[in-house]
């Protein structure tokens, strides 16, 4: 057996996803699931036959109610996540998602080569989001925003509260509510496609890296090989010196 030459790794436990991030993630899962299922129902209601008198039925009303409740959950959850992007740890910071320098794009290209196209090369080493994932999440945030804007704009007619009314002007940008409704429906498909790819890639990383990728969204820990951990530390130190430290890194230490 080749075990003689096998490197036995000492794993460092790194607290990657803080509790608020994890709660955000799972609330988001629930909200999006409910929104997609009820959204499909609202777009094309199922034929539910029953001998009940129409006066006692409230099927569509209930489904819509669920959709609206989930939409509020989704909105405030997202608003909280944006806030956490400024006060959270290194891995939750906004610049994990929004490219601010060329290195971000270079790193993204590296990930596309190694992980997506699976060309030969140095394996990519990361702890939190990799840059490609971060950037895709940024795109999902834009999709979130589109859904919130179009969704609340559609909802504004149902409500007398000032908050949804804020969005009532958005239909005007689209010309009509019909266009608005269609756009809301189309964007929903982005969520479905994203979910499929997202779940696949979590399994992929768990399988290829063996660092507990899947469970990291449970307890928040990832396990990093000692030498890679040190390497990573050095890299961060170097880049910090190079960039003379950005505002956010200064105020927040890497490790708690």
Partner 1 sequence: MSKVTKKNAFHHNKKQPHPLPSNLIYNLLVNNLINISMSNITKTQAPTYYDEVIRKGYSRRDFLTFCTTIAAYMGLNQSGIAQVTEALKTKPRLPVIWLHFQECTCCSESFIRSSHPIVADVLLDQISLDYTETLMAASGAQAEEAMQNTMKKYKGEYILCVEGSVPTAADGVYCMIGGKTSIQILEEAAENAKAIIAWGSCASNGCVQSAKPNPTKATPIHKILKGKTIIKVPGCPPIGEVMAAVIVHVVTFGRIPELDRTGRPKAFYSKRIHDSCYRRSYYDAGLFVESFDDENAKKGYCLYKVGCKGPVTYNSCGTMKWNNGVSFPIQSGHGCIGCSEENYWDNGNIYDRAAIFPGFGIEANADTVGKVALGAVAVGVTAHAIMTNVRKKKILQTIENEGKLGESELE
DSSP letters for the chain: -GGGGPPPPPEEEEE-S-HHHHHHHHHHHHHHHHHHHHHHHHHS------SS-GGG--HHHHHHHHHHHHHHHHHHHHHHHHHHHHHS-GGGSGGGTS--SHHHHHHHHHHIIIIIS--SSPPP--SS--HHHHHHHHHHHHHHHHHHHHHHHHHGGG--SHHHHTTTTHHHHHSSHHHHHHHHHHHHHHHHHHHHHHHHHHHHHHHHH-S-TTTHHHH-EEEEEHHHHHHHHHHHHHHHHHHT--HHHHHS-S--
Residue 82 lies near partner 1 (rule: CB under 8 A):
no
**Binds partner 1 by CB under 8 A, chosen from 32, 63, 127, 224:** 63
Q: For the segment 167-196, give every residue that binds partner 1 (CB under 8 A).
A: 169, 172, 175-182, 185-186, 188-189, 192-193, 196
When the beta carbons of 1 and 247 are compared against partner 1, the nearer one is 1
State the binding string over 192-231 for partner 1 (x if CB under 8 A, else -). xx--xx--x---x--xxxx---------------------
Q: Which is nearer to partner 1, 21 or 63 (CB)?
A: 63
145 part of the interface to partner 1, by CB under 8 A: no
Instruction: Indicate which single residue of 19, 29, 33, 59 sits in contact with partner 1 (rule: CB under 8 A).
Output: 59
Site membership for partner 1, residue 27 (CB under 8 A): no
Q: Which residues bind partner 1 (CB under 8 A)?
A: 2-3, 6-9, 43-45, 47-48, 54-55, 57-61, 63, 116, 118, 123, 157, 169, 172, 175-182, 185-186, 188-189, 192-193, 196-197, 200, 204, 207-210
């Amino acid at each position: 057996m080749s075990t003689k030459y096998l490197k036995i790794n000492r794993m460092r436990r790194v607290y990657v996803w803080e509790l608020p991030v994890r709660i955000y993630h799972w609330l988001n899962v629930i909200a999006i699931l409910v929104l997609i299922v009820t959204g499909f129902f609202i777009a094309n209601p199922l034929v539910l036959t029953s001998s009940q008198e129409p006066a006692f039925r409230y099927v569509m009303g209930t489904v819509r109610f669920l959709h609206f409740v989930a939409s509020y959950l989704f909105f405030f959850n997202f608003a909280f996540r944006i806030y956490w992007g400024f006060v959270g740890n290194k891995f939750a910071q906004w610049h994990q998602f929004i490219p601010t320098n060329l290195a971000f794009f270079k790193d993204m290209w590296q990930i596309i080569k190694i992980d997506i196209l699976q060309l030969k090369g140095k394996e990519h080493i990361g702890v939190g989001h990799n840059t490609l994932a971060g950037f895709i999440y940024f795109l999902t945030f834009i999709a979130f925003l589109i859904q919130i804007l179009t969704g609340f704009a559609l909802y504004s007619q149902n409500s007398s509260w000032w908050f949804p009314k804020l969005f009532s002007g958005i239909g005007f940008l689209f010309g009509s509510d019909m266009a608005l409704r269609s756009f809301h429906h189309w964007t929903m498909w982005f969520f479905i496609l994203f979910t499929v790819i997202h779940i696949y890639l979590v399994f992929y990383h768990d399988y290829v890296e063996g660092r507990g990728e899947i469970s990291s969204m449970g307890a928040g820990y990832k396990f990093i090989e000692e030498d890679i951990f040190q390497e990573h530390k050095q890299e961060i130190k170097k880049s910090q010196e190079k960039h003379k430290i950005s505002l956010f890194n200064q105020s927040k230490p890497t490790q708690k």
